[in-house]
Amino acid sequence: MEKFISDLVEAWGSWAPTLSHDGQQVAFVSDRRGRPELWVCPAGPVGDGATSSARVIEISDDPVTSVSWSADGEWLACTVAPDGGVRTHVWVVRPDGSDVRRLAGSAYQHAALGPWSRYDHQLVVSVPRASVGSVSRCDLIDPATGERERIAHGGLVEVLDIAADERFALLRGGRRGQHYCVTLDRVRDHDYPLLPYPHIGSTESGLLRPAAWSEHPDHLTAYLVTDAGQPRAALAGVDLERDGVRGTVGILAARDDGELERVDADDAGRLLTLVWNVAGRSVLELFDTCTEARTEVPDLPGAVITGCILARNGKSAVLSMEGPLTPPRLWRLDTATLAWTPIDIGPQAIPEQLVEPTLEHFDAYDGLPLTGWLYRPIGAAGAGPVLLSLHGGPESQERPTFSAQHQAVVAAGISVFAPNVRGSTGFGRQFAHLDDRNGRYNGIADVASCVGYLVQAGIGEPGRIAVSGRSYGGYLTLAALVRFPSLFAAGVDICGMSDLLTFYRDTEPWIAEAAVTKYGHPERDRALLEDLSPLPKAASIAAPLLVVHGEHDTNVPIGEARQIVAALEALDSEVEFLELAGEGHEYRMQSSRKILISHLLDFLNGHLLRSHREPASDGVVGSEPGGTVTALRHRTADDQGSRRAFSD
Contact 375, 368 (CB under 8 A): no
Average the pLDDT over each of 47-51, 224-228, 233-237, 396-400 and give the range with the smallest value: 47-51
The DSSP symbol for 616 reads: P
Contact 182, 169 (CB under 8 A): no
pLDDT value for 115: 96
543-557 pLDDT per residue, tens: 999 999 999 999 999
Measured between alpha carbons, how far is 192 from 329 in angstroms, rounded to an integer? 40
The residue ranking higher by pLDDT, 364 or 213, is 364
Phi/psi region, residue 434 (left: phi>0; alpha: psi -120 to 50; beta: rest), is alpha
Average pLDDT, rounded, for the chain: 90
Q: Is the dihedral of CA 365, 371, 373, 375 positive or negative?
A: positive
- Taking the CA atoms of the chain, what radius of gyration do you get in angstroms? 24
591-601 pLDDT per residue, tens: 999 999 999 99
Sheet containing 629-634: order of strands: 358-363, 369-375, 415-420, 384-390, 460-470, 490-494, 545-550, 575-580, 629-634
Percent with pLDDT over 90 in the chain: 77
pLDDT value for 234: 97
Cis peptide before 536 (omega within 30 of 0): no
Most confident of 31-45, 558-572, 576-590: 558-572
Helices 590-604 and 404-411, interaxial angle, to 10°?
A: 30
Q: Is the dihedral of CA 610, 614, 620, 622 positive or negative?
A: negative
pLDDT value for 211: 92
Q: What are phi and psi of 336, to 5 degrees?
A: -85, -45
Q: For residue 112, name the pLDDT band (cuts at 50, 70, 90).
A: very high
Measured between alpha carbons, how far is 640 from 642 in angstroms, rounded to an integer? 6
Residue 107: exposure state from Cβ atoms within 10 A (0-12, 13-18, ≥19): exposed
Average pLDDT over residues 114-125: 93
Measured between alpha carbons, how far is 74 from 60 in angstroms, rounded to an integer? 20
pLDDT value for 48: 43
pLDDT value for 385: 97
Label residues 113-141 b or e (16+ Cβ within 10 Å = b).
bbbbbbeebbbbbbbbbbeeeeebbbbbb
Q: For residue 537, name the pLDDT band (cuts at 50, 70, 90).
A: very high
pLDDT value for 625: 29
- Chain length of the chain: 648
pLDDT value for 347: 58
pLDDT over 60 at 633, yes or no: no
The DSSP symbol for 50 reads: P
The DSSP symbol for 477 reads: H
pLDDT value for 155: 81
137-185 pLDDT per residue, tens: 999 999 999 899 999 888 889 999 999 989 999 999 999 988 999 999 9
Q: 3-state DSSP call for residue 569?
A: helix
502-517 pLDDT per residue, tens: 999 999 998 999 999 9
Q: For residue 45, name the pLDDT band (cuts at 50, 70, 90).
A: low
Q: What are phi and psi of 647, to 5 degrees?
A: -90, 0
pLDDT over 80 at 641, yes or no: no
Give the 3-state DSSP-derived string for 103-163, with helices as H, strands as E and coil as C.
EECECCECCEEEEECCCCCCEEEEECCCCCCCCEEEEEECCCCCCEEEEEEECCCEEEEEC
pLDDT over 50 at 619, yes or no: no
Contact 127, 103 (CB under 8 A): no
125-148 pLDDT per residue, tens: 999 887 766 788 999 999 999 899
Measured between alpha carbons, how far is 99 from 39 in angstroms, rounded to an integer? 16
Contact 391, 397 (CB under 8 A): yes
Percent with pLDDT over 70 in the chain: 92
187-227 pLDDT per residue, tens: 888 999 998 776 788 999 999 999 988 777 778 999 999 99
Q: For residue 612, name the pLDDT band (cuts at 50, 70, 90).
A: low
What distance, in Å, lies between the first and last C-alpha atoms of the chain?
Answer: 34
The residue ranking higher by pLDDT, 107 or 197, is 107
pLDDT value for 569: 98
How, if at all, do strands 14-19 and 25-30 pair? antiparallel
Q: For residue 107, name the pLDDT band (cuts at 50, 70, 90).
A: confident
